[in-house]
Amino acid sequence: MSPSPASGDVPALRRLAQLSILLAMANVVGTAAALARLPNAVDLGQWILIAVGALSSLFAFVFGVMISLRKPRARWAGFAAVAVAILAAALFSLLAYVVPEAFWIFTVWTVTLLSYAVLATHRLVRWPEGGLTEEPKSRLAIFISYRRDDSRDTVGRVLDHLRLAFEAEHLFLDVNRQAPGEDYRSMIETALEQSDVLLVVIGPDWVNTTNREGRRRLLDPGDMVRIEIETALRRDLRIVPVLVEDASMPRPQDLPPSLEPLSYRSAVPVRPDPEFQPDMQRLVVALRQHGAGA
């Protein structure tokens, strides 16, 4: 399963916002201290120092505020703040070398900026895939139907995204809740009774996956995936086909008669990276809207 950022990264980003604003204020103090130690510097040198200190303060402050306000472009502001911090650190390390009387001020400033750049970059790389949204998690109950041999890894990523927007106890995945020795038909029946939506995850081999005898599994009345979809159709549940790994919707003639209605349901494609994240966000929005209207 591919790793995805945990929802716990959002509080970590809030702390980064606070740190960015503190850095902005510290840069103002550092600039004033450096100017005090360089009273005889030429005007151009003083203006360069003021400009670099002001720019690093401004970019860090804007980044911190954008995280706090959960702005959609906060991540790009963060990359800009890191770039300015690194450039400022390079300048101040040079000044620490050529201005011995201000060595400690510029050295501390350089180390501070580089430490901030490393921490901010770490958080930018681990930016939550669901963004900075603080919307409460939906209680929509979602049953996820899939074939392990067809889309196991992708389903893991899909589930990670859904957990950011929906309460985990209302997300049903067979491997999570099936007790040893339990009749899977009863388990499916019970789970779908408690569900609002059935997501049918369809990968490239979903239609043609075969059993040990070489027969297509969909043609087996006891096939778990077939039972899940038949039960959902019988209960008139909302069924959303989710096409992964560039799969296409099965044609009616590819399905047993009891599953033919599935081929007429509107599907949601969830493509491989780099489209995976925006496609999942669209799916989450659609499911949330269904939950709000239920």
Same domain, 65 and 199: no
Same domain, 113 and 29: yes
Of 95, 125, 155, the last residue of a domain is 125
Same domain, 275 and 212: yes
Residues in the chain predicted with pLDDT less than 50, given as ranges, are 1-8
Same domain, 149 and 29: no
User: Is 4 part of any domain?
Assistant: no
Same domain, 158 and 282: yes
User: Is 2 part of any domain?
Assistant: no
| Residue 202 near residue 209, CB atoms below 8 Å | no
Measured between alpha carbons, how far is 245 from 201 in angstroms, rounded to an integer? 10
User: What does the pLDDT look like over 65-110, one tens digit per residue?
Assistant: 998 887 878 889 999 999 999 998 998 888 778 777 778 878 888 8
pLDDT of residue 292: 67
pLDDT of residue 173: 84
Same domain, 120 and 149: no
pLDDT of residue 131: 59
pLDDT of residue 2: 34
| Residue 289 near residue 278, CB atoms below 8 Å | no
**How much is the pTM?**
0.57
User: Is 257 part of any domain?
Assistant: yes
Find tokens 């300015």 and name the residue: 84
> Per DSSP, which regions of 139-228 are E strands?
142-145, 171-173, 197-202
Same domain, 66 and 191: no
Same domain, 284 and 150: yes
Same domain, 121 and 257: no
Nearest to 8 by CA among 121, 142, 126: 126
Measured between alpha carbons, how far is 222 from 5 in angstroms, rounded to an integer? 37
User: Is 209 part of any domain?
Assistant: yes
CATH number at residue 223: 3.40.50.10140
Same domain, 109 and 152: no
pLDDT of residue 246: 92
Same domain, 39 and 146: no
User: Is 133 part of any domain?
Assistant: no
pLDDT of residue 43: 64
pLDDT of residue 38: 67
Same domain, 154 and 202: yes
User: Is 1 part of any domain?
Assistant: no
The domain containing residue 66 runs over which residues?
9-125
User: Is 207 part of any domain?
Assistant: yes
User: Is 238 part of any domain?
Assistant: yes
pLDDT of residue 250: 95
pLDDT of residue 41: 57
Structural domains counted in the chain: 2
Of 125, 159, 192, the last residue of a domain is 125
